[in-house]
C-alpha cells in the first residue's frame, strides 16, 4: 500500500510540474518587463562587434567552453583577425573560449564561480540578457554596490558601467534614471548591448541560421513534391461523374465512401450536362467511372467493379451461388422499383400515381424479410442495401407513402441512413430532399 501511495505521489508531481513551471514563468513575466532584443544572425557586422565586446568584457571571468574561436570565421572574420584581436585566452584558433581562472579560486574570491555563457541565451532568452545588461543600478546595500531590475540581489558587478554610467532606481515607479553618464550615450550603449546579446544568441546556436535556411529549402521541396504527388495521384485515382440528384449516382457514391478509398467526384448538373460527358460516355448519362484508361457506366457494373477492385469491406457475397442470387435481386430492383421513377418525374399525373402505387406495393412485399434479419441478405450490410437506399431516401420527395404494415421498411431505412459515412455520400441537393 505504501508503494502505491508513493507511486501516486510521483505521478501527481509529474502531472503538476508543467502547470507549476508555467505559473512560475507567468508570474516572473508579470513582475519583470523585458525589452525586445535586436537579434539578427544575418547581421555579421553586429555579430563581430558583439564578439569584440564579449571577449574584452565577459571573457575575463565567464567562459564559453562550447564555442570555438574558429566558428567566428562564419560571421565574416578571417583567421588572422581572430588571432590579432580576439584570441587572448587561447593559443589556437581551434581552441574553445575558456578562461584561465580556476573555478575553486573563483568561488573563493567571488562567492560563486561565474557561469559558463555558451548557452546562456538559450537558457534565459535573448530578451532577458538584453534587459539584464541594461538593468544595473546603484544599490549601497549590495556587497558590489550594484543591483539589477531583472535579477534582484545579483552578485555580479556592472562590468560595463564605464560605458553606460550609473543609474538609480525609483522604488515607487520602478523606473531607472541615469544619474552619472558614461562614455557612451544611452542609444550608443543600447547598441553595444544589442550587439553583445546578438553575439551571445549566435554563440548559443551557431548553426541556427543554416538550420533555418535548410528548413525553408526542405519546406519548398516538400511543397513541390506535394504538388507532383497530387498530380500523380489524380492521374491514378478514380473519378466518378455523378448527378447531384441522380439515385444511380447516389449508389456509387455510397460504395466509394463505404470502401474508404481515395477518389474524386465531379458533380454533374443533370439539366446542364458538360460537353465532355458525351465524349466519355456515348449515352451521355451518369454515373460514369473513369480510372486511367478504363471507363465504366451503369451503376451496378461500376459498383461490382469497385467491390472486386477493393474487396474490403466486401459488399457482394463471396459464394458464387449467393452472388448470383444477389444479382437477381439487383435486377428485380431495377424492374420492379427504379424503372418507375421516370414516370414519377415525367410530369404526367396519371403515370406518376400509377408508378407510386407500384413502388409502394413492391416495397411492402419486402416486409417479411425484416422480421428475422437487419438487412436484405442477413445481418451484414451488402450491395443490395446500397442499391435500395437512394429510393428509400427519396420516398417523401417522390410522394410515396408506405402503409402502416410497412413500418419495418421504415425502420430498416433508418438503419441505412444512420451508417457513419452515409451523410458524406450525399450531395447538398439530396440532403435537402429530407428535412
Residue 233: pLDDT over 50? yes
DSSP string over 329-363: HHHHHHHHTGGGHHHHTSS-HHHHHHHHHHHHHHH
pLDDT of residue 234: 67
Which one, of 140, 62, 70, lies nearest residue 106 by Cα? 62
What's the pLDDT score for residue 336? 96
pLDDT at 21: 43
Mean pLDDT (whole number) for 396-402: 96
- Report the C-alpha gap between 431 and 149 in whole angstroms: 65
Confidence class for position 386, pLDDT limits 50, 70, 90: very high
384 neighbors 324 (Cβ within 8 angstroms): no
What integer is the mean pLDDT of 360-377?
A: 94
**Which pLDDT belongs to residue 236?**
66
Contact call for residues 47 and 75 (beta carbons, < 8 A):
yes
Prediction pTM value: 0.53
Q: How confident is the model at residue 165 (pLDDT cuts 50, 70, 90)?
A: very high
In this predicted structure, the answer to whether residue 301 has a pLDDT above a threshold of 90 is yes
Query: What mean pLDDT do residues 361-373 have?
Result: 93
Q: pLDDT band for 112, please (50, 70, 90 cuts).
A: confident
**Residue 392 to residue 422: CA distance in whole angstroms:** 13
Average pLDDT, the chain: 89
pLDDT band at 224 (very low <50, low <70, confident <90, very high): very high
CA dist., res. 107 & res. 240, Å (int): 78
Percent of the chain with pLDDT over 90: 69
pLDDT level of residue 87 (50, 70, 90 thresholds): confident
Confidence check: pLDDT of 229 > 90: no
Which distant-in-sequence residues (6+ apart) come within 8 Å of 267 by Cβ? 242, 243, 244, 427
User: In this model, does residue 417 exceed pLDDT 70?
Assistant: yes
Is the pLDDT reported for residue 5 higher than 70? no
- Cell digits for 183? 562614455
* Residue pLDDT, tens place only, 318-366: 999 999 999 999 999 999 999 999 999 998 999 999 999 999 999 999 9
In angstroms, the first-to-last Cα distance of the chain is: 59
Give tens-digit pLDDT for 246-273: 999 999 999 999 998 888 999 999 888 8
Q: What is the pLDDT of residue 40?
A: 94
Q: What is the pLDDT of residue 382?
A: 96
Q: Which helix (H) or strand (E) holds 266?
A: strand 263-268
Give the whole-angstrom CA distance, residue 302 versus residue 255.
9
Whether the pLDDT of residue 411 is over 70: the answer is: yes
Q: Which domains does the chain have, with CATH numbers?
A: 32-205 (1.10.760.10), 237-431 (3.40.30.10)
Task: Tell me what the mean pLDDT of segment 147-158 comes to.
Answer: 93
pLDDT value at residue 24: 42
The pLDDT of residue 90 is above 70: no
pLDDT at 8: 45
On the question of pLDDT at 159 being above 80, the answer is: yes
Backbone angles phi, psi at 106, to 5 degrees: -65, -40
Residue-level pLDDT at 89? 57
- More confident position, 87 or 300: 300
The 10s digit of each residue's pLDDT in 176-221 is 999 999 999 999 999 999 999 999 999 999 988 888 889 999 999 9
**Residue 25's pLDDT band (boundaries 50, 70, 90)?**
very low
Amino acid at each position: 500500500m505504501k508503494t502505491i501511495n508513493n507511486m501516486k505521489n510521483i505521478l501527481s508531481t509529474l502531472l503538476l510540474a508543467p502547470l507549476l513551471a508555467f505559473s512560475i514563468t507567468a508570474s516572473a513575466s508579470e513582475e519583470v518587463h523585458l525589452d525586445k532584443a535586436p537579434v539578427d544572425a544575418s547581421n555579421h557586422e553586429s555579430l563581430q562587434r558583439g564578439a569584440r565586446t564579449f571577449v574584452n568584457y565577459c571573457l575575463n571571468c565567464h567562459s564559453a567552453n562550447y564555442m570555438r574561436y574558429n566558428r567566428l570565421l562564419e560571421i565574416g572574420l578571417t583567421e588572422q583577425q581572430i588571432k590579432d584581436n580576439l584570441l587572448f585566452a587561447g593559443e589556437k584558433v581551434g581552441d574553445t573560449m575558456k578562461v584561465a581562472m580556476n573555478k575553486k579560486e573563483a568561488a573563493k574570491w567571488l562567492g560563486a564561480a561565474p557561469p559558463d555563457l555558451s548557452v546562456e541565451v538559450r537558457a534565459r532568452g535573448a530578451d532577458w540578457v538584453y534587459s539584464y545588461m541594461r538593468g544595473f543600478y546603484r544599490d549601497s546595500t549590495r556587497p558590489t554596490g550594484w543591483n539589477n531590475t531583472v535579477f534582484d540581489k545579483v552578485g555580479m558587478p556592472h562590468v560595463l558601467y564605464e560605458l553606460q554610467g550609473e543609474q538609480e532606481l525609483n522604488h515607487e515607479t520602478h523606473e531607472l534614471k541615469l544619474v552619472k553618464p558614461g562614455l557612451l550615450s544611452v542609444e550608443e550603449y543600447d547598441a553595444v548591448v544589442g550587439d553583445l546579446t546578438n553575439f551571445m544568441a549566435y554563440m548559443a546556436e551557431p548553426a541556427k541560421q543554416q538550420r533555418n535556411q535548410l528548413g525553408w529549402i526542405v519546406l519548398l521541396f516538400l511543397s513541390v513534391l506535394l504538388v507532383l504527388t497530387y498530380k500523380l495521384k489524380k492521374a491514378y485515382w478514380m473519378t466518378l461523374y455523378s448527378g447531384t440528384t441522380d439515385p444511380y449516382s447516389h449508389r456509387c457514391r455510397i460504395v466509394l465512401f463505404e470502401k474508404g478509398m481515395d477518389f474524386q467526384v465531379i458533380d454533374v448538373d443533370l439539366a446542364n450536362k458538360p460537353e465532355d460527358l458525351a465524349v466519355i460516355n456515348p449515352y451521355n448519362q451518369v454515373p460514369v467511372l473513369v480510372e486511367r484508361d478504363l471507363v465504366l457506366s451503369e451503376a451496378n457494373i461500376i459498383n461490382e467493379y469497385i467491390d472486386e477492385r477493393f474487396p474490403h469491406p466486401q459488399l457482394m457475397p463471396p459464394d458464387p451461388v449467393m452472388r448470383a442470387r444477389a444479382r437477381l435481386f439487383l435486377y428485380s430492383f431495377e424492374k420492379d422499383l427504379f424503372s418507375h421513377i421516370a414516370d414519377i418525374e415525367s410530369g404526367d399525373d396519371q403515370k406518376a400515381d400509377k408508378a407510386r402505387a407500384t413502388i409502394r406495393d413492391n416495397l411492402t412485399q419486402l416486409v417479411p424479410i425484416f422480421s428475422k434479419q437487419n438487412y436484405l441478405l442477413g445481418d451484414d450490410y451488402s450491395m443490395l442495401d446500397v442499391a435500395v437506399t437512394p429510393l428509400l431516401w427519396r420516398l417523401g420527395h417522390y410522394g410515396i407513402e408506405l402503409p402502416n404494415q410497412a413500418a419495418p421498411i421504415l425502420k430498416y431505412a433508418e438503419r441505412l441512413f444512420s451508417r457513419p459515412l452515409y451523410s458524406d455520400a450525399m450531395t447538398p441537393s439530396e440532403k435537402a430532399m429530407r428535412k
